[in-house]
Amino acid sequence: MESRVMSSELWNAVAVVVVTFIGYQILNKVLWRGIWTPLRLRRIMVKQGVRGPPFRFPFGQVLEFVTFMNSFPEVVPLDSYADLSPTVTPQYALYYPQFPGAKYFLYWWGKTTRLCVRDPEIAKEVFINNHAHLKCAHLGDTYLMKGLIGRGLVALMGEKWSTERRAINPFFHQDALKGMVEAMVEGTATEIQKWEQIVAQAGGSAEIDIEADMHKISGRILSLTAFGTDSEKGFQVYETQTELAKEYYQMLRGVGFWIIPRYSDIPLKSHRHMRQMAKKIDTLLHEILDGRLEAVRKGVTNSYGNDLLGRMLTSAADGWSEGSPDFNLQSVIENSKLFYFAGQDTVANASLFTMLMLTLHPEWQDRARAEVMEVVGDEESFDASVLSRLKVVGMVVNETMRTFTIAPTMVRLTGKDLQLKNLFIPEGVVVEFSTNAVHQDKEYWGEDAAEFKPERFANGVAAACSHPQAFVPFGLGPKICIGNNFAMMELKIIVSKVLRRFQLLPSPNYKHHPCNVVVTRPKYGLPIILKAL
């Protein structure tokens, strides 16, 4: 009898602990983080005159965005590039018109409070003057995002970020990039030769959806420049990462991701598969690193290689701790994943939209091709001096990146209270720089901002617009994309190699519907007609 009483008391105690724990979680996560904090931040911003839609628990404005985007037809108009916003950044299309003249507004992505800014001066104060106090604001599950982009430069802050940036910077200086041109040219060969065969078999002209091939070109270029002699295994990293990204994007489109806490931890078949792919990426990278470390250790070679991976290994300290302040072997793994994902996804989509613009503006296609034939001639190789002389190609690429901003928003979480000249931003607010909106703002680009006019960049980026922070395709400030020069070289090479072989014509089967899944991309691929020259 006494034992039963003790057992009952024990179970009652356990029940009290469990209920208390659950109650705490509800109080902390639902009431405090989900309701009180967003409302407190809203009060602070409203007192300063910052307007926005009302806070809605628990989704914020997310469902409104989805409804708004789904209201558009499968094919959206292509006569004005200012109309890009509704299907890529619906928050701008919805709320900037509601607050005429406003340079910022407040909205909620779930329980996260976001200050959306289209003022380059505020962007300068936040992203340049206060960059040390900003944290990366990633979407989604930490483990899967780590599998995609790693815990490299983009996720770091403070001294760890400074250490890794200093260690990696030399790999992207112009002198180092000059040695990568040949590998970039080689990386374009397979897909372009495939197109030539398809076009020849079709009698000189064929329609090809180039989306997948552009990603392969970019992935192969990264494999050759980053992994050199290990490029085949590096390409496996690219293919696995691409597959993981597709499934991850599909998960983002589901309602479950936004309403169920730790949704990706649920052991669904697709979630298990994504984790297996993330593990495979780690395994492949470790195999590549271990092979190079072992070769030097055994004296087979006295160098880790002259590619990006070899240069990072040469600078890296021993150790695999993510928490280490040093740039170590784990840093090499994490940044390798970052360069692969960021490099191939951004450049591939920038290439796609550049090809689209060349089909729609044949006068610029002709000018760019004439320049390529004059500067490059019939040679099959490029060098850095050739690339620097491709002014028209550079103008077309820059205008495309303005018109179709690949990274349409730049978001950072404030790690402390920020007092700007005319605005106080409390800790916990995510600052979202409206890159896409600024790139289309008539105040900085003129009345023809909605038109495709590469001549804006005839005298360089600085003269193209009225504010230095109004054109930021690679970000701004100390945390600007470290691979921006690499990306521009790659884009010039891809465009030049395609123009030397084909005339690009618009396809009647192209469905124009740019969308934003991590980066701006064509929703239904990019079929174009390639005609042999």
| Positions at the binding site for heme | 481
Residues 199 and 205 sit within 8 Å (Cβ to Cβ): yes
* Beta strand ranges found along 73-200 (DSSP E): 104-109, 112-117, 134-136
- What is the Cα 32 distance to its own chain's centre? 32
CB within 8 A of 366, min separation 6: which ones?
A: none
Quickly list DSSP for 510-527: ----EEEESEEEETT--E
Is the CA virtual torsion 145, 150, 153, 158 positive or negative?
positive
Half-sphere exposure of 348 (CA within 13 A, CB side): 27
- Report the length, in residues, of the chain: 533
Binding residues, by number, are 481
Beta bridge partners of 475: 473
The conformation of residue 110, written as its DSSP 8-state character, comes to T
Burial (CB count within 10 angstroms: exposed 0-12, middle 13-18, buried 19+), residue 57:
middle
Token readout for 265 is: 């931890």
Pair type for strands 430-433 and 112-117: parallel
Distance CA(453)–CA(80), nearest Å, equals 12
Distance CA(421)–CA(435), nearest Å, equals 21
- Residue (of 335, 241, 309) closest to 281 by Cα position: 241
CB within 8 A of 321, min separation 6: which ones?
A: 328, 330
Quickly list DSSP for 373-422: HHHTTT-S---HHHHHT-HHHHHHHHHHHHHS-SS--EEEEESS-EE-SS
Side by side, the strands of the sheet bearing 112-117 are 104-109, 112-117, 430-433, 410-414, 134-136
Distance CA(237)–CA(316), nearest Å, equals 21
Residue whose token pair is 């008539």: 442
Quickly list DSSP for 213-245: HHHHHHHHHHHHHHHGGGHHHHHHHHHHHHHHH
